[in-house]
């Protein structure tokens, strides 16, 4: 049975990953931690620690105290927010990663750290972006993600630390709101539709990006850490995707079920520039071949579930 520490468990992914990992591995075997206080049923089912992941001793003490063998490192500042404070983006993203890797080296832990479509840039092939290709991002978020991929591979080849990662697209979910990314609009649009509000879209029509529904993302994070290491040719990091759309396509997918729904475009320059530098769609064939990646949700199936869950939550 794994003994897991989640770092940065309070966010969009961590709030759901805590529940998933506790369902699989048992409440007491999954320690959740964050800089901010963690409150609520999901967190209180098992051990909670307050950890600032830029402080290596705080991670090391928790790993020792709970006999941890696997770290899920989720602490980061997402793309749009990081662009407003690049040093914070670097210090949290890289500080947390280096500390997790060093503690993992000393205590023999495996480490999962998500990369992102943000690790690509304007010179990357935009359509069907290959697994191994140009990675010259123009955002500080992307710089931290490429650095993170390289560092994670370095710790694997140099020290044998079992590091694994996926390049997530925009994640869509209904439990915890996203934390300042460029793809957040694809979550917020569902909240507007359910609340009966007109949606103000921060990106232009025709801005395509990859996306994924949270249940598939949770499955990816479990499956890659359970994968047979002898089958992994790549490690840090695998392209994974489930769908690609622009604002018009997701708007029409929602309008099919909420006929009165309205949207206007008011592009935000920072978000638009970031989105324009990212791929339109990824080729995730290596993940499919090496560890059986196979998402369940397409746009329509996700839309039905999102609207249903948000109606129960908000109305």
Given the rule CB under 6 A, which residues bind ligand AKB? 78-79, 116-118, 141, 169-170, 181-183
Separation of alpha carbons 5 and 161, rounded Å: 16
The item of ligand AKB, ligand NAD, none sharing an interface with residue 186, based on CB under 5 to 8 Å by kind, is none
171 forms part of the interface with ligand NAD (CB under 6 A): yes
The item of ligand AKB, ligand NAD, none sharing an interface with residue 213, based on CB under 5 to 8 Å by kind, is none
- Scanning 75-83, 157-165, 239-247, 281-289 for contacts with ligand NAD by CB under 6 A, the matching segment is 75-83
| Residues 173 to 202 in contact with ligand NAD, rule: CB under 6 A | 178-179, 181, 183
Among 4, 5, 6, 10, binds ligand NAD (CB under 6 A): 10
Residue partners of 315: CB distance under 8 A and separation at least 6: 194
The item of ligand NAD, ligand AKB, none sharing an interface with residue 306, based on CB under 5 to 8 Å by kind, is none
- Scanning 51-59, 132-140, 152-160, 289-297 for contacts with ligand NAD by CB under 6 A, the matching segment is 51-59
141 is catalytic: yes
Among 18, 19, 20, 34, binds ligand NAD (CB under 6 A): 34
Element of type H or E holding 201: strand 199-201
Angle, CA of 45, 49 and 50, to the nearest 5° = 135
CB 27 → ligand NAD: shortest distance, Å?
20
Element of type H or E holding 238: strand 238-239
212 secondary structure, DSSP code: E
Q: Which tokens sit at 305?
A: 């579930």
Q: How far is CA 175 from CA 166, 169, 278, in A?
A: 22, 18, 26
Separation of alpha carbons 13 and 133, rounded Å: 27
Residue partners of 273: CB distance under 8 A and separation at least 6: none
CB 64 → ligand AKB: shortest distance, Å?
31
| C-beta of 118 vs 202, nearer to ligand AKB | 118
229 secondary structure, DSSP code: G
78 forms part of the interface with ligand NAD (CB under 6 A): yes
- Straight-line distance from the first to the last Cα atom of the chain, in angstroms, rounded to the nearest whole number: 40
x-or-dash string of contact with ligand NAD, 89-128, rule CB under 6 A: ---x---------------------x-x------------
- β-bridge mates for residue 34, sequence order: 50
Cβ-based burial of 188 (10 A; exposed 0-12, middle 13-18, buried ≥19): middle
The item of ligand NAD, ligand AKB, none sharing an interface with residue 13, based on CB under 5 to 8 Å by kind, is ligand NAD
Whose tokens are 């049975």? That residue is 1
Enumerate binding residues for ligand NAD (CB under 6 A).
Answer: 7-8, 10-14, 34-36, 51-54, 74-76, 78, 92, 114, 116, 168, 170-171, 178-179, 181, 183
- Which residues are the active-site residues? 141
């Amino acid at each position: 049975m794994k003994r897991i520490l989640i770092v940065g468990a309070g966010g969009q992914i961590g709030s759901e990953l805590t529940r998933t990992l506790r369902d699989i591995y048992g409440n007491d075997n999954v320690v959740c931690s964050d800089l901010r206080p963690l409150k609520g049923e999901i967190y209180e089912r098992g051990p909670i620690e307050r950890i600032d992941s830029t402080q290596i001793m705080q991670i090391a003490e928790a790993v020792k105290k709970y006999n941890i063998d696997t770290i899920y490192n989720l602490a980061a500042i997402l793309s749009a927010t990081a662009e407003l404070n690049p040093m914070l983006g670097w210090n949290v993203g890289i500080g947390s990663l280096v500390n997790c890797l060093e503690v993992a080296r000393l205590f023999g832990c495996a480490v999962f750290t998500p990369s992102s479509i943000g690790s690509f840039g304007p010179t990357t092939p935009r359509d069907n972006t290959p697994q191994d290709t140009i990675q010259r991002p123009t955002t500080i978020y992307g710089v931290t993600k490429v650095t993170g991929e390289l560092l994670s591979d370095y710790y694997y080849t140099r020290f044998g630390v079992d590091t694994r990662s996926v390049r997530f697209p925009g994640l869509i979910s209904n439990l915890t709101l996203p934390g300042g990314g460029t793809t957040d609009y694809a979550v917020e649009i569902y909240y507007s539709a359910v609340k009966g509000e007109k949606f103000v879209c921060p990106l232009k029509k025709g801005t395509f990006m990859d996306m994924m529904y949270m249940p598939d993302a949770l499955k990816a994070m479990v499956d890659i850490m359970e994968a047979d290491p002898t089958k992994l040719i790549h490690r840090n990091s695998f392209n994974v995707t489930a769908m690609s759309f622009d604002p018009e396509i997701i708007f029409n997918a929602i309008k099919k079920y909420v006929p009165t729904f309205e949207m206007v475009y008011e592009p935000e320059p920072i978000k638009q520039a970031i989105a324009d530098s990212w791929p339109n769609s990824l080729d995730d064939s290596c993940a499919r071949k090496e560890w059986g990646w196979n998402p369940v949700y397409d746009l329509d199936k996700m839309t039905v579930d999102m609207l249903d869950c948000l109606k129960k939550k908000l109305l």
